[in-house]
Structure 1
Amino acid sequence: MLFYRLISSALLLPVVKVLSSSSAMALSSNVEKQCRGMSGMTRYLNQVEAAALDQELFTEYKFSVDQLMELAGLSVATAVAQAYPPTSYSSALIVCGPGNNGGDGLVAARHMALFGYKVAVHYPKRTPKPLYENLLEQCCKFGIHIVDKLLEPNELKNEYQVLVDALFGFSFKPPVREELKPALDALIDGGLPVCSVDIPSGWHVEDGPSSDHSLKPALLISLSAPKLCAKDEYLKGAKHYLGGRFLPPAIVKKYNLTLPEYPAQDQVVQLC
């Protein structure tokens, strides 16, 4: 009886493998079709539109900077948790810059700590404003380790399993300041999955990467609406999420955003 089972298993194994392979190929094909469909229906913003939309949220719709930062940071943390769950990627390093992207990263760090990650923050150039000082203090109160000196890029794998890139946003203009180069090098050469906030650090918001050695994230979390650089071939194979379930309907209509619907009560939607 046992011999029969062994023979049966041996005969069936190639069939199972073929079926599994076919299922995987079908699943991959469906994902690619979904990505193409999402990309086709979603509108991407240029630099002028992205800046104007942000400004309008502040002036016309009376959102405060800290209010939008909290919403953006929660979206980032949610997208990271969906793509790289803490059950498999338990330790995370968030690299924060001096601008709004850095503030989003500080908020995301707090939420990721609540989601179950062991979180550290590297914040090499701190912004001397109450909002940023308060966000950093909150991180400390939540037990988040503040890293003053980064490990060498090839050593980051010894401490972390995923990196969050909150270094530069869409208003970045080269060159990279000397004090921030080690942070960008860590993201580029760390050999870990990188999750970029809004646009990959160092990229032009429309033209994309400046060289073949630019940052190539494994996950991009667009905020409000995707920017033109998100279409760049350099991002091929990367996961792409949108976090912007806070836009007033009138602004969506004005900018003809044609955004996908968010599932259930989710703060993010996967585009690809």
Structure 2
Amino acid sequence: MNSRNQECVEAPRYLSKEEAVAMETELLRDYRFGRQQLTEILGHACATAIAKAFPLTSLEKRQPTVLVICGPDQNGCVGLACARHLHVFEYIPTVFSPKRSPDSLHQDLTVQCERMDLPFLSYLPTEVQLINDAYNVVVDAVLGPETELKAIDEPLTSILQTLRGLKVPIASLDIPSGWDTDESSSEGISPAVLVSLMTPKRCALSFPGSHFLAGRFLPYDIQKKYELNLPKFSGTDSVVEL
């Protein structure tokens, strides 16, 4: 096997939190990607991954209902964009945003969802069975790598507790909420699907569920510098299953 073929089969590299932050900073500063642009690209890719993991034709309930739980930070912004794209893909998303953010992008994405008639819950039902009866899938966009776990408080801590008890499948965006970016977790929520944003993080090294990667847009020089070894994306797909 020649070196080119060896490169093709080499496993993707799982980045530390520090490396992921540095790479995103370069994209924003040196490559002039806008934050809203990245959020839109990643939100669309997340919706695509969820549609691949839970096709409309495979859902048992009559209506393809999805609950998207969005935190106040960047991961929540991606969740809001994902919810809007799920709506375009003919799913029926409902959004729960427990801590409305003063961030202008978060507010803009919220307005876009509202203007597309996506319903917003004012509270998360505490009865786990109620959630199980109402939704086919729950999208976890509560906490991302940017969130300091020591700083989280109510209502986010109660939301994580509720998510731990769910039987309905969870799809987490970037990292499962409550996990440390650099370490695999045996505690906390247990999503069925993980959609890594741009690159997989170290905490996902032993993730047992369906793992998708949304990183096709990354410039070649970035891929080379961080030795990402991205897998081959099929056709025009924006995501690939690892």
Greater Cα shift, 84-93 or 41-50? 84-93
What is the letter of the counterpart of residue 222 of structure 2? Answer: I
Contact 1:86 1:115 in 2 (8 A): no
Aligned to 1:189: 165
Aligned to 2:200: 226
The alignment of Structure 1 onto Structure 2 pairs a total of residues equal to 229
C-alpha deviations, 1:17-57, integer Å up to 9, x for none?
xxxxxxxxxxxxxxxxxxxxx99611110111011011111
Measured in 1, the distance between the counterparts of 2:37 and 2:68 equals 20
Measured in 2, the distance between the counterparts of 1:253 and 1:95 equals 34
Aligned to 2:51: 81
Measured in 1, the distance between the counterparts of 2:181 and 2:100 equals 23
1:95 and 2:69 correspond? yes
Aligned to 2:184: 208
1:166 and 2:136 correspond? no
Q: 1:151 to 1:88 in 2, by over 3 A?
A: farther
1:68 and 2:38 correspond? yes
Aligned to 1:244: 215
Alignment counterpart, residue 104 of structure 1, candidates 63, 75, 78: 78
Contact 2:87 2:93 in 1 (8 A): yes
C-alpha deviations, 1:142-185, integer Å up to 9, x for none?
12110111112232012101000001111222233112123222
Calculate the TM-score normalised by the size of structure 2: 0.91
Aligned to 1:149: 123
Greater Cα shift, 180-189 or 242-251? 180-189
1:46 and 2:16 correspond? yes
Greater Cα shift, 42-51 or 185-194? 185-194
C-alpha deviations, 1:60-117, integer Å up to 9, x for none?
1001110000001001000000001133331000010011100000000000011111
Unaligned residue ranges in structure 2 (runs of 5+) = 1-7
Measured in 2, the distance between the counterparts of 1:185 and 1:110 equals 26
Measured in 2, the distance between the counterparts of 1:119 and 1:226 equals 26
Measured in 1, the distance between the counterparts of 2:56 and 2:117 equals 16
Contact 1:172 1:204 in 2 (8 A): no
Measured in 2, the distance between the counterparts of 1:108 and 1:185 equals 23
Q: Counting helix residues as a fraction of each chain, which structure ranks higher?
A: 1
Where does 1:128-139 land on structure 2 (aligned, <5 Å)?
A: 128-139=102-113
Runs of 4+ in 1 over 6 A off after TM superposition: none
Contact 2:70 2:77 in 1 (8 A): yes
Aligned to 1:16: none
Measured in 1, the distance between the counterparts of 2:9 and 2:178 equals 23
Contact 2:73 2:146 in 1 (8 A): no
Greater Cα shift, 169-178 or 119-128? 169-178
What is the letter of the counterpart of residue 219 of structure 2? Answer: P
Q: 1:196 to 1:39 in 2, by over 3 A?
A: farther
Aligned to 1:11: none
Measured in 1, the distance between the counterparts of 2:133 and 2:10 equals 40
Measured in 2, the distance between the counterparts of 1:178 and 1:129 equals 19
The sequence identity of aligned pairs, in percent, is 40
Aligned to 1:270: 241
Measured in 2, the distance between the counterparts of 1:254 and 1:61 equals 14
1:115 and 2:89 correspond? yes
DSSP-derived class of the 1:242 partner? strand
Measured in 2, the distance between the counterparts of 1:113 and 1:59 equals 32
Alignment counterpart, residue 224 of structure 2, candidates 237, 253, 265: 253
Q: 1:173 to 1:129 in 2, by over 3 A?
A: closer
